[in-house]
Structure 1
Amino acid sequence: MRIALDGRTAVVTGSSQGIGLAIATGLADAGAQVVLTGRSRERLDAAAGVLRHGVPDADVLAVACDLATEQGAVELYDAVPATDILVNNLGIFGSRPPLEITDEEWRTYFETNVLSAVRLIRHYLPGMTGRGWGRVQNIASDSAIVIPAEMIHYGMSKTALLAVSRGFAKEAAGTGVTVNSVIAGPTQTGGIEDFVHELVGGDLPWDEAQREFMRLHRPQSLLQRLIEPEEIANLVVYLSSPQASATTGAAVRVDGGYVDSIVP
């Protein structure tokens, strides 16, 4: 299957590293103009360099803004008034004893992981439906379905994204625009490495720490290893393509079989 996104613009939030950068690289490789976003100009410039190294002819724009705030969203709108593809990947996570999660932490997780996506969809979706083509994807998590005891606030935010995706898919019904969630499983990123060491001990070598984490905390994974960011990106690129025109309102899993269910 050859996926061609030439002439399309793709905004990928939280794309200075990890899954977001892998998604942006995959979309650029398919021919899309890619917009990277993040709070740090320095990290964005470094990410753009990495992307161009992997895709030498890539058309890349980096917009430094804090999309967890309304002002940050306005800064993105000013730089990129319209887009064909929107990938809401921005998110934070971390472990916390359930009874110690404060009101402020609950609000922060909702603002960052949910409302940032809602805000961008609200802005970009009308242009997509008016043009009769568009793709919106919200990067969710296995934690949306299998709520981890050590990060209920994170799981809540990802469950909310599933509802957001389904609802906006109904708003876009019959327009040629699709809206989906991508349920990503435990993935190897810089952030997850810190999280794994926090749970199993910081003194273990990474390969051993990863195996111990999967054994103790994610034993139901059928893959029995952490997923590579590029494996998440492959699904996102497909869902961004014309070939995925009949997939909308869905929660599509790329979770290594972690969720013990025969339906999404």
Structure 2
Amino acid sequence: MDLQLTRKKAFVSGSTHGIGYAVARGLLLEGASVVINGRTEEGVQRAVRELEALVPGADVSGIAADFDDAEQVRRLADALDGLDILVNNVGLFELAAFEDISDDTWQRYFDVNVMSGVRLSRHAMTSMLAQGAGRIIFIGSESGVNIPADMVHYGVTKAAMLALSNGLAKLTRGTGVTVNTILGGPTYSSGVAETVHQIAQAQGLSTDELKTAIMSGNATSLLERFIDPGELANLVLYLASPLSSATNGAALRADGGVLTAML
């Protein structure tokens, strides 16, 4: 299927690894021009080289910015002109007891997980609405619907992201611009892989044993395994394409059946 993404200009936040990296690779394979992002210049340039090797002839570049710093985000946004596709992917997560989460940590989670999307979307929507076309996609989580007790701060920010996306979609009425969220399930991103590896070592288990134990303990997963980042990226590609023109203001699940509601 031709997704009609050739020569479309896309920016993917937090895309030097994990889900964002898989999204950037998929967009490049579809012929889009992609700007990736990470916290350090070294990491960004490494990912650019990797993507150029994976997708010969790819039009890929990168901009380093830490989304915990509003000024860096402002400079990043100023460097992004004429975007057709914005993928708000960057995010923080960690396991933490509620009583141990400080005010500073709450603020950092809101700055990175929520305000990154506010700042980038505010910049991108102006030109998208002016040209009458564009796609804004938030990479959300089922944790924004079913808040995990051991990651309350993460779940709350993902719920806020879902609300932000829905509200922005209402500003696109009668235009060719759409705003949607993907509710991902347990995904074996690089960050999750690192966490699983650390826990497995501490418990004297192999990584595969712990992965199996984690998903076996997830009573509602229909997939019964971790989701691959590329599986989420496939849905992003569809939402980024002109083919998804009738999908707007939606939260689409790619959660492996973890959420039990019918809608």
What TM-score does the superposition give when structure 2 sets the normalisation length?
Answer: 0.96
Aligned to 1:119: 119
Count of aligned positions: 262
Q: Equivalent residues in 2 for 1:10-159 (5 A)?
A: 10-159=10-159
Q: Which moved more, 1:71-80 or 1:221-230?
A: 71-80
Q: Whole-Å Cα distance in 1 between the matches of residues 259 and 242 of structure 2?
A: 28
- In structure 1, runs of 5+ residues without a counterpart are none
CA contact 2:23–2:230 (8 Å) conserved in 1: yes
Q: Whole-Å Cα distance in 2 between the matches of residues 64 and 26 of structure 1?
A: 21
* CA positional deviation for 1:188: 0.9
Aligned to 1:238: 238
CA contact 2:74–2:119 (8 Å) conserved in 1: no
* CA positional deviation for 1:79: 2.4
Secondary structure of the 2:220 match is: coil
Secondary structure of the 2:37 match is: strand
* CA positional deviation for 1:219: 2.6
Aligned to 2:206: 205
Q: Whole-Å Cα distance in 1 between the matches of residues 59 and 4 of structure 2?
A: 14
CA contact 1:200–1:213 (8 Å) conserved in 2: no
Q: Whole-Å Cα distance in 2 between the matches of residues 235 and 129 of structure 1?
A: 23
CA distance change for structure 1 residues 83 and 31 in 2, over 3 Å: closer, same or farther?
same
* CA positional deviation for 1:198: 5.4
* CA positional deviation for 1:173: 1.3
Cα distance per residue 1:20-51 (max 9 Å; x no partner): 00000101111110000111111111111221
Q: Whole-Å Cα distance in 2 between the matches of residues 104 and 138 of structure 1?
A: 24
The residue type paired with residue 175 of structure 1 is T
Cα distance per residue 1:130-149 (max 9 Å; x no partner): 00100000110010111111
Secondary structure of the 2:140 match is: strand
The residue type paired with residue 56 of structure 2 is P
* CA positional deviation for 1:197: 4.4
Q: Whole-Å Cα distance in 1 between the matches of residues 197 and 47 of structure 2?
A: 25
CA RMSD of aligned residues (A): 1.3
CA contact 2:200–2:206 (8 Å) conserved in 1: no
Secondary structure of the 1:96 match is: coil
Secondary structure of the 1:223 match is: coil
* CA positional deviation for 1:77: 2.6
What TM-score does the superposition give when structure 1 sets the normalisation length?
Answer: 0.96
Secondary structure of the 2:214 match is: helix
CA contact 2:67–2:111 (8 Å) conserved in 1: no
Cα distance per residue 1:41-71 (max 9 Å; x no partner): 1111111122122211110010011133221
Q: Whole-Å Cα distance in 1 between the matches of residues 199 and 141 of structure 2?
A: 19
Q: Which moved more, 1:186-195 or 1:12-21?
A: 186-195
CA contact 1:68–1:115 (8 Å) conserved in 2: no
Aligned to 2:4: 4
Secondary structure of the 1:226 match is: coil
Secondary structure of the 1:75 match is: helix
Q: Whole-Å Cα distance in 2 between the matches of residues 74 and 105 of structure 1?
A: 22
Aligned to 2:216: 215
CA contact 2:34–2:60 (8 Å) conserved in 1: yes
CA contact 1:200–1:212 (8 Å) conserved in 2: no
The percentage of counterpart residues that share the same residue type is 45
The residue type paired with residue 81 of structure 1 is D
The residue type paired with residue 208 of structure 1 is E
CA contact 2:68–2:112 (8 Å) conserved in 1: yes
Q: Whole-Å Cα distance in 2 between the matches of residues 137 and 78 of structure 1?
A: 19
Cα distance per residue 1:171-194 (max 9 Å; x no partner): 111111000001111111221023
Q: Whole-Å Cα distance in 2 between the matches of residues 180 and 95 of structure 1?
A: 27
The residue type paired with residue 165 of structure 1 is S
CA contact 2:90–2:113 (8 Å) conserved in 1: yes
Q: Equivalent residues in 2 for 1:174-185 (5 A)?
A: 174-185=174-185
